[in-house]
Structure 1
């Protein structure tokens, strides 16, 4: 659903504030405009403290007792502003008489928040301006409130289509620049996504634009029913709808997933469908011999570990889930808790300095740290805080972890290399390098283990799996499967 169509469902009354839902509110007294205030607080924390909106927003909504229409509006304003930030900044650059980087850090989120209401929602322009200016006066003072008022009135002089004609580069001459501004992604991200899709600028970047549009749509909330503990049918009773591909997945059309009984009982969890499927693929490969011990060597925060422990518990295997950071190891421990046969064990260990003997495991998952460019639907702020230097910084770690994963597998065992990024330097380049360095690895054809999903094949001879938001409705998860050759 588009941001604009969601706005119609929560159209505010005159004055810009939504009608209050029924029932009693809990928590402390609310400010005059709780939805805009919480959106502003999240946007400011994202900008100044590198906070993650998907973690902070639910926490603030709960802490301040914000529910119903106010919570829906706060969610729309937060994520809509983050997704369209690049477009709004290009517009604001033309409205501010100095560099946008010189605008006070407390004020810039207000300008972006007001621009989103003016250009991408059905909130009446006078309400969008007046309510944002009122918030500005409360949080940054009257003087800077007047500045916000003046800039937003300039923004309101044109609609988004008219502004696009003013700010966007010529599409034929500079397709990457055009898409960067109009679809609100850094230029380098546009270019790298086009490269991963195999598109060149002279071809028009049609598929690249489809992907960028998908990044700016609100993703579905996807649940996983942990095998042996819950079924998709159980989630359907709570209003979820079976997903397209994973036998364990269901989409929740609306509501709080934490309110679902199976989630509260740790028998289900929130997990993207592609994340479920890469774990499932690893479990489907013939291990060529014993199949009693599995390893998830970068397990935090525990989504894939929780599913793998349940899959292992369905048979005779056990999972060791390793996580470097103790706090994240605690999250993993909760994810694998009460797996069938207590098949999950968690250790706090560094995957680059293994706490296990080489050749100990029948199956190994290396879900390595990455730029997260495959999850920009759910973490839109990541596109603004990542740069090419992050790819260069992470590549040595990714190479090291895949190498250690291969060493952890016994001869004949299986290794899965997974990233939540389609960037070729984090996927194909790493895989080819490790294959070139070792003579004991066979690259399997990963799509063969996910026959239920079309259009997955990527890489040499179509041996990799690459999910895409605009094709599969999932995160852009990458998977390469290897078998360690026997002596």
Structure 2
């Protein structure tokens, strides 16, 4: 009489869903980063092809939507998600995402989720999980949004934040940065809620973007002369990546490094370039390749030893010297021609690439970061020679982290703001009112990078 139960207990669960729920558990239990855990897990478990693509979609999609999923789960379960066992909650989130945001059939989404609960938590919570998911499956995403989101007429920002799975405070920040345009806010949140293309960077002097696109099957980027767009796959499997001819880097970040290398100086470029916050090394590697062409040399500063090691690996065979030091007190001699301050920030501009980050950051994080950003930019200007240029960048559109920091520095120190818009490739529209540059996913397909070029008087 027990045979059907035994057979069900041993029903194999597909490796894509197992990997996805394992990553979700790692994110929940130890604050892991999904975009770091998943690729290694796929390689270790030899999950490839369609299974790898499904695992990626389920992991990142669920991580991005957690806030909205939790509200729906709590509504149906009639209890806060904090009262649900963590292992069961991971599966409920995964199942709810499949039901509302994929084309996976309701029966498959529910049955595989029930099997996952049984395999992880035993028979006890199976009935609960089955009931919750079946009730969720009775409505599509639009109906759940209509039911649970704030009223679109009374609270447009709150409604859009729920609809596109963002904390309200982040939607408010975007709304301020976009000038209060409801249409722009909706477009920005929607773009932030989609799976981004992978951006590759061709190392100048080693390989061209055209050659890289031909080898990888990608498409040459729109703005950066080094960029290639790649839709899917593990970049680590690509030969140009393994050989150090190319790397993975958002096109916006490439434009930041290019701007520093091409900004006009007063007086000759003596070849002393500095990356003051260089870890984990993406911009340092691009600057190193550009410096080699120009006969310059880059000092790369990083406070954390393990991140400094990553810089050393990514800049091998390039004219880059890595220093383990605090960017506020480097011990380096002043006189640099070009300095990059890619400052630590909230990362609100890269939420689509760091899917769980939107649920980890808090508004209170901003004030402490702004103090650090001001200190780092001040240090950079002290190290800069008169006539030299510093580029300040953040992967955030938060006004306090961007124009707020730069405007204060311009008022306090002997620097002049250059029109940074004139330093990016021609044809890029929607850069903002200037003199700084603000990129956006919905306008440019990049992370929401901010950067400003300042020349020391």
Normalising by structure 2, we get a TM-score of: 0.95
Match of 2:330 in 1: 354
The question of 1:448 aligning with 2:425 is answered no
Distance 1:198 1:46 in 2: 34
Distance 1:442 1:455 in 2: 24
Distance 1:437 1:284 in 2: 26
Match of 1:304 in 2: 283
Match of 1:325 in 2: 304
Q: How many residues were matched structurally?
A: 445
Match of 1:285 in 2: 263
Distance 1:74 1:256 in 2: 12
Structure 2 residue ranges without an equivalent (≥5)? 1-10
Q: Deviation at 1:126?
A: 1.1
Which deviates more, 128-137 or 281-290? 281-290
The question of 1:178 aligning with 2:159 is answered yes
Q: Give a deviation string over 1:240-268, Cα, whole Å, max 9, x none.
A: 21110111111123332222221111010
Match of 1:5 in 2: none
Residue 106 of structure 1 aligns to a residue whose secondary structure is: helix
Match of 2:14 in 1: 33
Q: Give a deviation string over 1:331-383, Cα, whole Å, max 9, x none.
A: 111121122xxx211111110112212x3200000001001000011112110
Distance 1:136 1:290 in 2: 66
Structure 1 residue ranges without an equivalent (≥5)? 1-29
Q: Deviation at 1:455?
A: 2.6
Distance 1:263 1:347 in 2: 25
TM superposition outliers: structure 1 runs of 4+ over 4 Å: none
Are the counterparts in 1 of residues 220 and 229 from structure 2 also a CA contact under 8 Å?
A: yes
Are the counterparts in 2 of residues 418 and 477 from structure 1 also a CA contact under 8 Å?
A: yes
Distance 2:340 2:408 in 1: 18
Are the counterparts in 1 of residues 343 and 376 from structure 2 also a CA contact under 8 Å?
A: yes
- CA distance 1:31–1:303, change in 2 (3 Å): farther
Residue 139 of structure 1 aligns to a residue whose secondary structure is: helix
Distance 1:207 1:104 in 2: 39
Residue 355 of structure 1 aligns to a residue whose secondary structure is: coil
How much is the aligned-residue C-alpha RMSD, in angstroms?
A: 1.4
Are the counterparts in 1 of residues 61 and 355 from structure 2 also a CA contact under 8 Å?
A: no
- Report matched runs for 1:162-201 at 5 Å: 162-199=143-180
Match of 1:391 in 2: 366
- Report matched runs for 1:88-487 at 5 Å: 88-199=69-180, 205-238=182-215, 239-291=217-269, 292-339=271-318, 343-357=319-333, 359-438=334-413, 440-458=414-432, 462-485=434-457
Are the counterparts in 2 of residues 456 and 465 from structure 1 also a CA contact under 8 Å?
A: no
